[in-house]
Amino acid sequence: MSPDCLMRNIDITEGRNKTRAIDTVLNELSQRFGERLKTGMAIREQHGRDESFHKGHPPDCVVAVHSTDEVQQIVRLCALHKIPLIPWGQGTSLEGQVAALHGGVCVDLSEMNAVLCVNADDLDVVVQPGVTRRQLNEYLRDTGLFFPIDPGADASIGGMASTRASGTNAVRYGTMRDSVLNLTAVLANGEIIKTAHRARKSSAGYDLTRLFVGAEGTLGIITELTVRLYGRPQAQSSAQCTFDSIRDAVDTVIETIQYGIPLASIELMDSLTVKAINAYSKLSLPEKPMLIMEFHGTDAGVQEQAQMVQEIASGHNGSEFSWTSDAAEQKKLWRARHDAAYAIKALRTDGQLWATDACVPISRMAECIEQTLDDIDQSKIIAPVLGHVGDGNFHLCMLVDHAVPEEVASAQALHERMIQRAIDMDGTCTGEHGIGYGKRDFLKQELGGAVDVMRSIKQALDPDNIMNPGKIV
């Protein structure tokens, strides 16, 4: 037999073994979980695809779990048969994190959505991973507390932890890295660990909490978390301001942060984004770079903050500064920002949104965005820019027709140049979306040998590579 034939036969044998293994697993799961095991193609496809343009890959089945013990049972079964496990929260990831690249079992955690314990005095809450951020804030409504991290989508807390999500409030309240106090996870070997207790700080050994936050389910499945809460501010106000250039807007932000003004959020929109919003929301905002800001504090505090920012902005050619502490007015003002994604999508009905999320030191941000805007002009891709400018994090919202290969290639090249630019400026390819399978090459480009360390850790904790294989490393 020629080596080629031999290889093909081994492949077929391996394929058969895998088929047999997944059949065994499906049988077992069916007996244990009954109706909660789904194998219909529609539900499998839906659970293998996230909100990005990345190609979905259906798992072999979807099991809705209700407890850590159930997750442990499934992991043990899959470990025995070397079948991949892919955790699922709300499917709002943006780098293909939920795609079952090698088939396997989708562990649907969305029904593990109980808020287990609000510790009001400690400003924390224990939740199951399927609780979504809106559900949590709804639950907290009468407590005077809130969970500040807002990535836009109504993501699950477990999913947000797994991708180290952040969003508009990170400049004040941090990211999921800062939010999670401890978590419970089921490891690839079926063991259940709790990474820490509820103390605010700890020096007790390696920071396993931070290791699992951002691991995208590749080291284990998160089944419980304690996250930090904050007291609702006594007063909240918002402001907007228009600038002649991106640089003026960014310089305003730099100075604001240096003064220690504790902005709750500060968002940048470029002129094309404002134009899109005007068209979509029937507004007549000046079509120039714009900052939208939110202030949290006491009545006197938020007023003082806004006055200081206005002064700083006027030193950087800021104009049409408007400030309001009226709740309805604020809602209207932020509506524009929140509708930005829809407004941008409406710019081109035959285009699919491709959202990037590079993040650079704020001192390089104006330069990075300016060079990228020049590049956008030349590459003829429609791509408004908006971002969490307080963190140096910005989104290029490319609208691409994926049926036109030249266009996809052009967008890809634009994206690659922008990431190289961000890395050259001491930044990162991803400020908040994660690596998934969409950015694996960029991770290597960004961190070089450090990726080998990640691989060693993955290998140590999941030697058979059953935990969300093909993601990150």
What is the DSSP code (8-state) at residue 341?
A: H
Nearer to a copy of itself among residue 58 and residue 217 (C-beta): 217
Nearer to a copy of itself among residue 56 and residue 174 (C-beta): 174
Nearer to a copy of itself among residue 185 and residue 269 (C-beta): 185
Contact 102, 80 (CB under 8 A): no
CA distance 161 to 202: 19
Considering the complex, what minimum distance in angstroms separates the CB of residue 206 from a copy of itself?
A: 5
Contact 329, 338 (CB under 8 A): no
Nearer to a copy of itself among residue 211 and residue 346 (C-beta): 211
CA distance 78 to 218: 14
CA distance 232 to 445: 41
Helix H segments across 380-470?
405-424, 440-447, 450-461
Number of C-beta neighbours around residue 189 at 10 A: 14
Considering the complex, what minimum distance in angstroms separates the CB of residue 392 from a copy of itself?
A: 5
Nearer to a copy of itself among residue 29 and residue 215 (C-beta): 215
Number of C-beta neighbours around residue 443 at 10 A: 19
Nearer to a copy of itself among residue 70 and residue 432 (C-beta): 432
Nearer to a copy of itself among residue 148 and residue 289 (C-beta): 148
CA distance 39 to 106: 10
Nearer to a copy of itself among residue 367 and residue 375 (C-beta): 367
- Joined together, the tokens standing for residue 50 give 């996230």
Nearer to a copy of itself among residue 33 and residue 394 (C-beta): 394
Considering the complex, what minimum distance in angstroms separates the CB of residue 153 from a copy of itself?
A: 15
Task: Tell me the CA distances in angstroms from 397 to 71, 133, 358, one per residue in order.
Answer: 37, 24, 12
Nearer to a copy of itself among residue 29 and residue 358 (C-beta): 358
CA distance 462 to 473: 12
Considering the complex, what minimum distance in angstroms separates the CB of residue 290 from a copy of itself?
A: 21
Considering the complex, what minimum distance in angstroms separates the CB of residue 213 from a copy of itself?
A: 7
Considering the complex, what minimum distance in angstroms separates the CB of residue 421 from a copy of itself?
A: 13
What's the start-to-end Cα distance of the chain, in Å? 36
Identity of the amino acid at 274: V
Strands 105-108 and 61-64: what pairing?
A: parallel
Considering the complex, what minimum distance in angstroms separates the CB of residue 117 from a copy of itself?
A: 10
- 421: Cβ contacts below 8 Å, ≥ 6 apart: 358, 368, 371, 372
Pick from 276, 274, 267: which is nearest to 249 by CA?
A: 267
What is the DSSP code (8-state) at residue 389?
A: G
Nearer to a copy of itself among residue 351 and residue 387 (C-beta): 387
Helix H segments across 197-298?
208-212, 246-258, 271-281
Considering the complex, what minimum distance in angstroms separates the CB of residue 201 from a copy of itself?
A: 5
Task: Tell me the CA distances in angstroms from 33 to 106, 211, 221, 326, 436, one per residue in order.
Answer: 13, 31, 18, 51, 29
Please provide the size of the chain in residues.
473
Considering the complex, what minimum distance in angstroms separates the CB of residue 368 from a copy of itself?
A: 11
Considering the complex, what minimum distance in angstroms separates the CB of residue 48 from a copy of itself?
A: 21
Considering the complex, what minimum distance in angstroms separates the CB of residue 100 from a copy of itself?
A: 20
CA distance 268 to 277: 13
- Joined together, the tokens standing for residue 147 give 């969970």
